[in-house]
């Protein structure tokens, strides 16, 4: 078969290329200018220069193919380079699906993500809207929802490596899915408390709270508040993760770099 693959220079896409070539399929790739060096080392049938906003390049990529695979995804946006969740994870899917229909290709495979929802983060929402578009497109679509994927990055930035860089190696562990916090510096970017991305009760599963009549020795006050911990576990989880990472008990929010340095004995009060 001849298969058009979007996202073939990425972590997942490069492994898909290898598997397709090993199975003796012909692969057609769309390659963004500047990413030519990321083309997998295995022999591909055809490469087309261009980006997801170029309908002509999309048409050339799918020309003569029997199926389309869309494997484009981001962990972080780069707005100044016009690389956003909206244009790669949703508008790109719309364009690729339209190109498939113009070429009379019915088979469309979309690599989505586990845990996507509406409302959600821009990452989650664009992934879900892309799924909905394929389901309503009339194409013979198949949607994969993988979770964390591990493997040989082959010189690219794969998910687990980026998680380590953003969550462990940074001064303050944090993911870049939400605005308001710099994962590299730990600097709070929100202007006020109203802008913080807290979960609402509508986004939470049902909790059944139980009142413990015996003291909890591991807690500083020997007790746990009813309900509050279950509705806002994120900050506590981050605090515990940071404590485990540095080997010192950290207390109090916000968990700024100076507090970590103080706990490590690097600075004085």
pLDDT tens for 236-256 read 777 888 888 888 888 777 788
| Residue ranges in 28-165 assigned as alpha helix (H) | 55-62, 85, 91-102, 122-136, 159-163
State residue 238's pLDDT score.
79
247 backbone φψ class: left, alpha, beta (φ>0; ψ -120 to 50): left
Domain end marker among 107, 123, 144: 144
Name beta bridge partners: 6.
Answer: 70
123 shares its domain with 244:
no
Residue 182 lies in a domain: no
State residue 206's pLDDT score.
67
91 shares its domain with 196:
no
Residue 41 lies in a domain: yes
Q: pTM value? A: 0.62
State residue 267's pLDDT score.
79
pLDDT exceeding 90 applies to what percent of the chain?
Answer: 38
Q: What values do phi and psi take at 162, rounded to 5? A: -70, -35
Domain end marker among 88, 116, 144: 144
232 shares its domain with 123:
no
| Cα–Cα distance, 237 to 197 (Å, whole number) | 16
Q: For residue 142, what are its two tokens?
A: 């198949």
Q: Which of 45-54, 146-155, 210-219 has the highest mean pLDDT?
A: 45-54
State residue 175's pLDDT score.
46
Q: Check which CATH number belongs to the domain holding 105 and give it.
A: 3.40.50.720
134 shares its domain with 208:
no
Residue 70 lies in a domain: yes
State residue 177's pLDDT score.
46
Q: What is the pLDDT of residues 140-150, one digit of tens each?
A: 999 999 887 77
The overall average pLDDT reported for the chain is: 80
126 shares its domain with 201:
no
| Cα–Cα distance, 103 to 85 (Å, whole number) | 26
Residue 55 lies in a domain: yes
Q: For residue 61, what are its two tokens?
A: 């990529």
Residue 151 lies in a domain: no
Residue 46 lies in a domain: yes
39 shares its domain with 95:
yes
87 shares its domain with 211:
no
Domain end marker among 109, 127, 144: 144
Q: Which domain holds residue 111?
A: 2-144
Comparing 100 with 177, the larger pLDDT belongs to: 100
Torsion angle of alpha carbons 182, 186, 192, 193, nearest 10°? 110
Q: Which of 19-23, 133-137, 213-217 has the highest mean pLDDT?
A: 133-137
Residue 244 lies in a domain: yes
Asked whether 224 and 209 are in contact (CB, 8 A), the reply is no
Q: For residue 17, what are its two tokens?
A: 């290329």
Q: Is the pLDDT of residue 104 over 60?
A: yes
139 shares its domain with 197:
no
Residue 223 lies in a domain: yes
Asked whether 52 and 96 are in contact (CB, 8 A), the reply is yes
Q: What is the pLDDT of residues 3-25, one digit of tens each?
A: 999 999 888 898 999 999 999 99
64 shares its domain with 127:
yes
Residue pointed to by tokens 């004085």? 268
Residues in the chain: 269
125 shares its domain with 225:
no
State residue 246's pLDDT score.
83
Number of domains in the chain: 2
Q: What is the pLDDT of residues 40-79, one digit of tens each?
A: 766 899 999 999 999 999 999 999 999 999 999 887 788 8
6 shares its domain with 69:
yes
19 shares its domain with 140:
yes
């Amino acid at each position: 078969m001849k298969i058009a693959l979007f996202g073939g220079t990425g972590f997942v896409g490069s492994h898909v290329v290898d598997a397709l070539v090993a199975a003796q399929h012909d692969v057609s790739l769309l390659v963004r200018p500047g990413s030519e060096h990321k083309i997998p080392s295995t022999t591909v049938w055809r490469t087309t220069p261009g980006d997801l906003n170029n309908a002509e390049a999309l048409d050339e990529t799918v020309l003569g193919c029997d199926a389309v695979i869309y494997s484009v995804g981001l962990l972080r946006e780069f707005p100044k380079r016009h690389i956003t969740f909206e244009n790669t994870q949703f508008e790109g899917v719309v364009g690729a699906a339209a190109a498939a229909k113009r070429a009379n290709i019915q088979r469309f495979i979309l690599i989505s993500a586990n845990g996507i929802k509406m409302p959600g983060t821009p990452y989650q929402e664009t992934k879900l809207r892309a799924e909905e578009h394929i389901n309503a497109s009339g194409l013979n679509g198949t949607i994969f929802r993988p979770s964390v994927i591990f493997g040989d990055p082959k010189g690219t930035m794969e998910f687990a490596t980026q998680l380590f860089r953003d969550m462990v190696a940074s001064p303050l562990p944090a993911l870049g899915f939400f605005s308001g916090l710099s994962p590299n510096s730990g600097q709070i970017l929100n202007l006020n408390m109203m802008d913080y991305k807290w979960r609402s009760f509508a986004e939470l599963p049902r909790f059944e709270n139980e009142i413990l009549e015996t003291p909890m020795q591991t807690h500083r006050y020997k007790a746990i508040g009813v309900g509050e911990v279950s509705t806002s576990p994120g900050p506590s989880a981050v605090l515990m993760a940071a404590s485990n990472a540095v080997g010192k008990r950290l207390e109090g929010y916000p968990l700024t770099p100076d507090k970590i340095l103080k706990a490590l004995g690097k600075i004085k009060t």
